[in-house]
Structures are given as C-alpha cells and as structure tokens.
Amino acid sequence: MLKTVLIYLWAPVANLIWYALTIVMAIVSLVVWPFDRTGRGQHWCARWWCRMVAWTIFARIHVSGTEHVRPDRAYVYIANHASLIDTPALFGYLPYPFRIMVKKELFYVPFLGWHLQTAGNFGVDRRDPRRAAKSLRRVVDGVRSGTSLVVFPEGTRTPDGRLQEFKAGAFKIAIRAGVPVVPVAIRGTFALLPKTTLAPRPGRVDVIIGAPIETDAYSDKTVEALVTRTKQVIQAELDATAPREPAVGDTARRAPLG
C-alpha cells in the first residue's frame, strides 16, 4: 500500500522532470547542431535525455545482444511497443546512432519537434498517399546510404501486454534499402507503465537485441514471411524468463555511449 502511494506521489514530479529535461536537452541539441550536421551530437543529447528519464522512474535497464550489430552497417531495428518507456529504453541504450520516422507535423512542436527535425529524423507526410509515398522513398534512400532506423511495427502501444499485429511498412523499407532487419524485444516496460496510467513503477527492463535477419531473399511479395519470422523471434524473447538481478559485486552490462 505504501509503495503504491509513493508511486502516485512521485508520478507528477517525474512528469515535470521529463518536461524540463525535454526543454533543456532540446536546447543543448539545437546549440550543438550548427557545429555537427552529422546528427551524432544530437543523438548523444537524446541518449542522455532518455537515460535521465529512465533514472527518474528508477527503471533498471539491461541490454544484451549488442555483439550482433556493428557501427559500420545500417539496420532496420524492429521493436515491440508496450509502454512509453520503450522510447527511452531504445534511445538510451541501443549501442549506435539511429533515426526514427515521425509525423511531419511533430517537427513544429516546440523543443521536441525542433530537435527531431534538426537531428535528421524522417518526417512522414501522411496528408495524402502521394506525399506519403515520397516521404517513404526518402526514408529508403536514407537507410540505403547508411542510416539505421528504429520502428515499432505495431504502430501503437499494446493495451494488454501482448504483441499486436505487425504492419509490413518497415520491413519493405529494409528490403528496398537492402539492409538487415534486427529484432529487438523489450521486456518489462508494460509492468512499469502500461497504456492505462501515467504513474510509472520502478523495475527491471530488458532490451534484447537479436541476430540480424538478412533481407536479400525477400521481396515485397514475400514480405509477410519476413514479418512472421521477426515477430516469432521477438515473441520467443518476451516469453523467456528474465535473468536475475545482478548480485552485489556483479557488473550490469551497458551499451556504449557513442
């Protein structure tokens, strides 16, 4: 009972801290932008913003499988989406820079939108099919040229903790760009912050980076086979038992900061 009361007392404080961090780190990102047009400096800002968000809710994020990916290759990371904490978990702890796709309208949101745009994330114009297709072609070109992409193929957070249907769009991007799909299972975030509440609970989160799935053998006609294969990998990791917490003296594995 006391723990629940403390959670609800801390929730508004945590939310205020998140908003403050967003403003501060977005300003830092905008200051960095004229001196580093690669986006790496801004990704560093996003990484630390998300790590600080995780710390404010006492989320203990553990990463495994970083040996499966390389800094010199582009991927399309496919992750399940159970909670608002998924974004800090990925931005804070995936080992190498990446970009995301957002509605173009978000670029005009003060601070957060300015950061998203200047950091080189992909704005998708959904106002009509022709503009949307043009936006997606830019995404494919960006990934083909070496920019990794992170996508939640479910499109929205799960209402019950179970995997929802995966949309095929991100998989088609990987196929057309000629880059591997990397399954990423995020386990534990639904228990910390489900869709039905804004009061986060402390706890453990596991980010499991799977082995890349090459897309050479797939096409738009066989994309559903790639979707099914990726979803099965993620589901298997979600069904697995989480490892124990490190004992005193153990060292939790962390993603590099670059």
Q: How far apart are alpha carbons 212 and 180 in whole angstroms?
A: 6
CA dihedral 114, 116, 117, 119 (to 10 degrees): 110
For residues 155 and 188, give the distance between their C-alpha atoms in angstroms, rounded to a whole number.
Answer: 19
What is d(CA 95, CA 148) in angstroms, rounded to the nearest whole number? 12
Q: Residue 139 has what pLDDT?
A: 96
Read off the pLDDT of residues 75-122 as tens digits, 9 standing for 90 and up.
Answer: 999 999 999 999 999 999 999 999 999 988 889 888 888 889 889 999
pLDDT digits (tens, 9 = 90+) for 182-208: 999 999 999 999 999 888 999 999 999
Tokens of 31: 């200051």
Residue ranges of the chain whose pLDDT lies below 70: 242-258
Task: Say what the pLDDT of residue 130 is.
Answer: 84
Amino acid, res. 26: A
Domains assigned to the chain = 2-239 (3.40.1130)
Looking at residue 242, what is its pLDDT?
62
Q: What is d(CA 149, CA 122) in angstroms, rounded to the nearest whole number?
A: 9
pTM of the model: 0.89
Residue 239: how many other CB atoms lie within 10 Å: 9
Q: What would you report as the CA-atom Rg of the chain, rounded to the nearest whole angstrom?
A: 18
